[in-house]
Chains A and B, each alone.
Chain A
Amino acid sequence: MSQITNMPNGGGGFLTRSRWNPYLVGIGIGLLSWAVFAIVNAPLGVTTSLSQWAGLAAEPVMGVEGVRANPYWTKDFPQWDYGTFFLIGTFFGALVGAWLSRDLKIEVVPSVWRERFGGSPTKRLAVAFAGGILAMYGARMAGGCTSGNGLSGSLQLAVSGWTFFITMFVTGLATAWLMFGRKRSSVPSSSTESGKERI
């Protein structure tokens, strides 16, 4: 299947192992949330800061004044704050993690997509772009994404968090069924991580 890369890299220790046990990872994220709540008085979240970045991205077109006048960005104005630095940390954490486990790979068309829709980069990139728009728009309307609502909200027993978690799973299952579920793929599934090449 797609998880061929699970095998630890030969002879490596914990830090160079490609995959950690998902329950251990879950415990780690849970412990991290303790630290974040207690030490910096903030929940784990991603899209509040991302929407500020979107404001920065809009500045060349809308102008600084245009962005500043927008009623949404008045609320969450683009700034170098805790959330932004958290996302920078997230990027480098994943980068160093992938580097240590030799999992840094250029991936344009992932194998699960390729098995169903073929190897066209254009198709995959177009759908990824559209998906990104939907994910961000939906997350902002809901007040948070998988991190802010699904994780931080749910662990605080917030009604918004659990409503988000359950609803997004339902529409996600429906989408996956529409995309992948109706018929078996005609392209034979490859046992290698096709579409990926090591850097």
Chain B
Amino acid sequence: MSLPITGNASLVLAVVFGFIFGLLLQRGRVANYNTIVNQFRLKDFTVLKVMFTAIVVGGIGVLVLHRLGYAAYHIKPANMLGVVLGAGIFGVGMVTYGYCPGTGIAAVATGSVHALVGFAGMLVGGILYALSFSWVNEHILGVAALGKVRLPDVTRIADWIWFIILAAVAAIVFYAIERLMPKT
């Protein structure tokens, strides 16, 4: 069997991987409005714990796989104006919706009606983006477009040093959270 798996077999795997992802989101309590909004109110750090842990664990593994030739990188272009504006809008949307797109879908499955209504909003948002894409592409995406760059490219700090830094920051932040925050 050779990797990567493509074609119909990959569609079966897609369902399996998605299933695990949805299960983890639900059990991690991040498919939950209160958990997400309370993260941004700094009252509950579950979202940060899940995401930062996933980034460090996932990143170290994908780096090793990449170096061994088992994984390719999929870097999105750093169109800095587009990323900053888009992420800025996204942050407002995530707190008002109370979910991000992935956790929103998971929340719909657990019975959240407002997640379903927001899901309809996401489809509208997708249509609005497609309709305005020509303008955005012309006026925003090309501004400060750095290409598909990674932090090691722009900082000249090696990958493994980045992960030592990230792991250390994660350890300190998690320690502080566990010491300072009341147990939920």
Contact = CB atoms under 8 A, between A and B. Distances in A.
Nearest to A37: B71
A90 interface: yes
21 contacts: A1-B184, A2-B44, A22-B53, A27-B54, A30-B56, A32-B21, A39-B13, A89-B17, A92-B19, A97-B22, A97-B110, A98-B109, A138-B88, A141-B129, A143-B77, A146-B94, A155-B56, A158-B148, A158-B150, A167-B87, A171-B92
B41 to A, nearest CB: 5
B18 A90 contact: yes
Q: Which of B87, B127, B150 has the most CB of A within 10 A?
A: B87
A93 to B, nearest CB: 3
Contacts of A91: 18, 22, 105-106, 108-109
B97 to A, nearest CB: 3
Interface in A121-164: 124-125, 127-164
Contacts of B74: 37, 42-43, 152, 156
B91 A169 contact: yes
B84 interface: yes
Interface in A64-103: 70-73, 80-98, 101, 103
Interface string B155-184: 000010010000000000010000000001
Smallest CB-CB A-B distances: 3 pairs: A89-B18, A132-B121, A26-B53
A26 B57 CA distance: 8
A42 B62 CA distance: 11
For chain A, the bracket of interface size reads 35 or more
B110 A30 contact: no
A198 to B, nearest CB: 9
A153 B125 contact: no
A64 B83 CA distance: 30
Given A53-B123, A136-B126, A143-B77, A149 B87 contact: yes
A38 interface: yes
Interface of B: 3-6, 10-35, 37-38, 40-44, 46, 49-59, 61-62, 65-66, 70-80, 82-115, 117-131, 133-134, 136-137, 140-141, 146, 148-154, 159, 162, 174, 184
Given A28-B20, A54-B126, A54-B130, A113 B33 contact: yes
A96 B21 CA distance: 12
Contact of B113 (A19, A103, A107, A176): A107
Secondary structure call for the B interface: helix
A84 B65 CA distance: 25
B59 A154 contact: yes
Given A20-B27, A131-B121, A31 B57 contact: yes
A153 B120 CA distance: 26
A187 B122 CA distance: 30
Contacts of A168: 87-88, 90-91, 94
Contact of B93 (A33, A111, A134, A148): A134
Contacts of B61: 30-31, 33-34
A95 B37 CA distance: 22
A6 B52 CA distance: 21
Nearest to A34: B61
A147 B102 contact: yes
A175 interface: yes
A51 B131 CA distance: 12
Interface string A8-31: 000000000111101101111111
Given A20-B27, A141-B89, A85 B15 contact: yes
A143 B151 CA distance: 17
